[in-house]
Structure 1
């Protein structure tokens, strides 16, 4: 049986662990050549071994997303090699700190904003032309329910994810008449390192695994997807808000 992403090129940030790791592996298993971006070299090498064992292919990109010029170089390298990008998963992010809003240290605020928002904009800036060059470009932008609930002490993380959702919606509107489909994803509570940081007393065995979550996100990368500007809720396993281009 032909894999659903044969001959296609994908990029996943935050690929060394958690949901990003599992999405990168799933994309490769479907035949895509995956650019796996993360700071942690060991996690990338482990991912590469897994992808190769299943007959897939990947390019490892050890990169701190705060290296904005590095993001630009990555886009140029993909252009030189492939002339296009079919799938982008903007998954990397950090929790920052759970704190009363007036107690957040400026350096923590600025680093979290840079990691969760500015780096995503730089990815879009670098990769948008490549995604538009695809016959079925797909952008998957990881968000969080925190962007909507804005619970006490979650102001920093919630604000960054709300910003990403706003950028995603605007980008989708800008590209509505192209082959590019741009959507936000709320993965929900997942047994990841970030979740454990936020909820240290929680039993991770009560949560979906990153692999389970990734399997529900994968269809958003497929060429047959015809939704853009949507908000996909993994727990509901459906779009709660979307637009189907006419």
Structure 2
């Protein structure tokens, strides 16, 4: 089983205090990873830690706002000094932002979405790429959305940020494909029973949706050392690995 090779691996998960991030962090801890759980909410992190300890796992709690870029760099230094490597990076934290015509979006709200959904993930790559390269099998997963491809009206800030995230992660994967043991992929969770989904679809019955706990075991497989795919999208609704759209011919 994949989990038999995961003992003592170090995993960092952002947005770990609730929803998808919480479920992934708990699943990783149950499989033997030491989880570095990052989120803004101290209380949510402490509740996660209680569950991880009850399951026999271990965690380090990091209350942090991901828009604080120097804090990400300090965390990278701390992880280096304590462990010398990072085996798994899960970039899950994100915000929906305003659902509004593009011309009506407040610039501050636009900036907030980009800072959390794209800039913070770039800072994570910048700070933790050297540590992932020190792992025998560094694995990075970033959470995307079908919104990046649908270009649905009024979803502009969120869709743009996720499209940018996909290009960034695919570029990062290409940079590591032949030069290191790091593999980077994207995860499309689809419609799950989360707070963000309820915010986006307030009239939807949440009980018809799958849960983050349903998704988490599949993420465990994505970060397994023997999983060698890179630069792809794992689509949870269809349980398929998708090749992103082919690029235009070069001029």
Task: Output aligned runs, 1:85-234, within 5 Å.
Answer: 85-177=86-178, 178-234=180-236
1:4 is displaced (CA, Å) by 3.7
- DSSP-derived class of the 2:32 partner: coil
For 2:220 and 2:208, locate their aligned partners in 1 and report how far apart those are by CA, in whole Å.
22
Q: Secondary structure at the match of 1:229?
A: coil
Partner of 1:228: helix, strand, or coil? Answer: coil
Q: Cα deviation per residue 1:153-172 (whole Å; 9 max; x = unaligned)?
A: 01110000000000000000
Is contact 1:86–1:134 with CA below 8 Å preserved after alignment? yes
In the other structure, the counterpart of 1:237 is 239
What is the count of residue pairs matched by the alignment? 242
Alignment root-mean-square deviation, CA: 1.1
Q: Equivalences for 1:14-93 in 2 at 5 Å?
A: 14-93=15-94
Cα deviation for residue 213 of structure 1 reads 1.4
Q: Take 1:48 and 1:4, find their aligned partners in 2: how far apart are those partners?
A: 23
Aligned equivalents of 2:42, 2:148: Cα separation in 1: 30
Tell me, which stretches of 5 or more residues in structure 2 are unaligned?
A: 245-251
TM-score, with normalisation over the residues of structure 2?
0.95
Deviation at 1:239? 0.3
Conservation of the 8 A alpha-carbon contact between 1:92 and 1:116: yes
Q: Is the 8 A contact 1:139 1:183 kept in 2?
A: yes
What is aligned with 2:247?
Answer: none
Q: Deviations over 1:82-114 (max 9, x none)?
A: 100000000000000100110000000011111
> Which 4+ runs in 1 deviate beyond 4 A?
none
CA–CA distance in structure 2, aligned partners of residues 179 and 4 of structure 1:
16
Question: What secondary structure does 1:95 align onto?
Answer: coil
* Rounded Cα–Cα distance in structure 1 between residues aligned with 2:192 and 2:220: 16
Structure 1: stretches of 5+ with no match in the other structure: none
